[in-house]
Structures are given as structure tokens and as C-alpha cells.
Amino acid sequence: MHTAVVSHGDVDEGPTETYGQGKLLLRIGNGGAGALGLIRALADDYLDTLPSPFSITWTCNHSRNTQLALLHDHIDLALTYERDQEELAAKEGWSVTVGCVFHDHFVLAGPVADPAGIRHARNVKEGMQRIEEAQCLFHARADASATMWKERALWAAARMKPWEDEEAARWYKTSLLNPADALKSADKAGAYLITDRSTLLGQTGLRTISKTTVFFEPEEENDVLMNSCYASYKYGAAADRAKAVNEFLDYARSKRGQKVMSDFGTAEVGVPLFATLDEGFARTKLTDGLPRGGRWIGTSSL
């Protein structure tokens, strides 16, 4: 079937990881949350609720390639981050969007020294403008990920397209690095970047970054920096697959499943990586904090 959802690079058919033992119950596709271990945590807890042993797989792709993995029957459940692409797939008739499962968050982060002075900007738009005006180093991903599209939308809102400007190449540097490696590279170089809360905190726990702070993060549920994860399944899926998808989503959106998400990473890093459906957005703020000793330390503790 033809689709207007465009891939970037090869679609990984998977699986990347397998959880549990026994008959295959469900194939989940996702990018960043899976790489951080959230899909494993949910799958392991869900499998514990079942009367018989089963297995669940996770296949790693960025959002649009996860959708294409769903289209081509490599997965049963897509957990993705781009509302416009999910709506496009639904209009084309091959995908059914169930709704939100949990919330991640984009952040505008960068060196604590803040050479562009964005700490004093009124909003993220003004912050991006200050980076461009000062021509301070900015690291961008050019991999067609949800992060790339969000970053470009933020630049466009500030009436700039540095990826099309040859002169901007002096300070605007693109790569095809994955989220974790992109963050580590920016931290080492002292660059600004758009990353997500969960990746930032995940790398904090691994002690791979030390010089990056957060300047802007979501302040409300409809904030432009929200990065909520929605669930979709294949229209016309076999009855047993549809049943497995719906039962897992019932669990994931239940009090038990949401607690797995709210607790995820908190013991290791000191703050939750994700926000639950009830929370709407993360209430524990990262702004002006720093990674120290594997934990995120807020301004009051610095």
C-alpha cells in the first residue's frame, strides 16, 4: 500500500529486544522510550499479570519509520510522537490512533555558560533567535526523527531556516547521530540543542554528560515543547493481534501501568523521566539544573 509517510533510512524489521518467554503475544515499535528501557519495564510488568508465559518484542525505529513498520506488518503496536503523521496514516485508512499513553518533553538545552544569553529570553522562540544572532554553536539532527521536525518547526516559528543557509553552517552543525550520542556530542562541544527530557535524564544516570543545562521546557499540557507518545495499531489487524494490542493498552493506561511510567528512572536519577496521563506534563522541573554524580541536581541544591 502506498503512503505519504516518508521513511529516512531503512526501516528496521526487528525485533531489537525480546521480553519474557513463551508464545509471542505482541510486537511493539518505538524509538527513544524503548532505548531507555521503558518498553522493557512495561512489558515485564504486564507479562507478570498474565496467567501463562508469553513474550513481547520491541523494535527500534524513529517515529515515521515505526509507522512504516506498522504498515508493513513488522509490528502490532506503534508508539509514536508526531500527531500530523498519525493523522495522515489514519486518513489513508491503514492506521487507527488510540490516543496518548504517556508524556515526554522536548527541552532547549545547552552549555551552562550560556554564551548566547538565552537564559534571559522570554520564551523558546526568543531563545532560538538569540542563538542565531550570536551565532553560537548549535547541534542539530538531520535524520527525519520527531526531534528533527520539532527543532525545525521551532526555527521556522522564529522565521529562520539555518539548515538552508550556507553561512549558518559555521555554527549550525547537523549529524545523523542517535538521541543519546547527539546529546553527548553537544555536551562535549558546548553546543545548544533540542533534545528530550528522557534522553537528557537517561544520559545523566549513565554519567555521560556534565556541562549541559536546560533553558526551556514545557510549562503546560499544550506547550509547544510537549512530546507526548500516542498509540496506533493496524486497521484490519487479525483478531488475536487486535485483542493483544487493546489488552496491553488497557494495562498501560491503567493505574498500574501509569505507575511504572511515573516511577521509571526516579530512583536512579532523582526525578521521573516521563509524565503520566493524569499529570499531563512533568511537574518536576529541570531548568538551570545540572547532571552531577548520576543524578539531576536542581538549582536549589547547586
For residue range 144-192, what is the model confidence (pLDDT) as tens digits? Answer: 999 999 999 999 999 999 999 999 999 999 999 999 999 999 999 999 9
Asked whether residue 3 is assigned to any structural domain, the reply reads: no
CB neighbour class for 96 (10 Å; exposed up to 12, middle 13-18, buried from 19): middle
Is 184 found in the same domain as 89? no
Residue 239 maps to a domain: yes
Tell me: pLDDT of 301 over 80: no
Q: What is the pLDDT of residue 124?
A: 97
Residue 12 within any structural domain of the chain: no
User: In this structure, are 24 and 54 located in the same domain?
Assistant: yes
Residue 30 within a domain: yes
Say whether both 143 and 251 belong to one domain. no
Structure confidence at residue 203 as a pLDDT band (50, 70, 90)? very high
Predicted structure pTM score: 0.95
> What is the predicted pLDDT for the residue at 198?
98
For residues 153 and 239, membership in a common domain is answered with no
Residues 119, 95 share a domain: no
- Average pLDDT, rounded, for the chain: 96
Question: How many other CB atoms are there within 10 angstroms of residue 72's CB atom?
Answer: 13
- 207 and 132, same domain (yes or no): yes
pLDDT at residue 138, as a whole number: 99
Q: Is residue 287 part of a domain?
A: yes
Helices (H), ranges, 135-288: 146-157, 179-189, 197-206, 239-252, 255-263, 266-269
The confidence score (pLDDT) of residue 298 equals 87
**276 lies in some domain:** no
Give me the pLDDT at residue 86, please. 98
| Domain extent for 94 | 17-103+228-269
Residue 89 CA to residue 71 CA, distance in Å, equals 9
What is the number of alpha carbons within 13 Å of residue 302 lying toward its C-beta?
Answer: 13
Residue 186 pLDDT: 99
One domain, residues 78 and 193: no
**What is the pLDDT confidence band of residue 251, given thresholds at 50, 70 and 90?**
very high
Q: 202 and 121: one domain?
A: yes
Question: In whole angstroms, how far apart are CA 207 and each of 35, 179, 262, 272?
Answer: 16, 15, 22, 16
Do 197 and 292 lie in a common domain? yes
Q: What is the pLDDT of residue 193?
A: 99
**8 Å CB contact between 174 and 141:** yes
Helix 38-48 and helix 239-252, axial crossing angle in degrees, nearest 10: 100
pLDDT at 300: 58
Residue 1 falls inside a structural domain: no
Residues 136 and 195 in one domain: yes
Euclidean distance between CA atoms 127 and 122, whole angstroms: 8
Do 145 and 170 reside in the same domain of the chain?
Answer: yes
173 belongs to a structural domain: yes
pLDDT range class, residue 2, cuts 50, 70, 90:
confident
21 with 51, same domain: the answer is yes
Residue 125 sits in a domain whose CATH number is: 3.40.190.10
Domain count, the chain: 2
Average pLDDT (23-37) is 97
pLDDT tens column, 206-224: 999 999 999 999 999 999 9
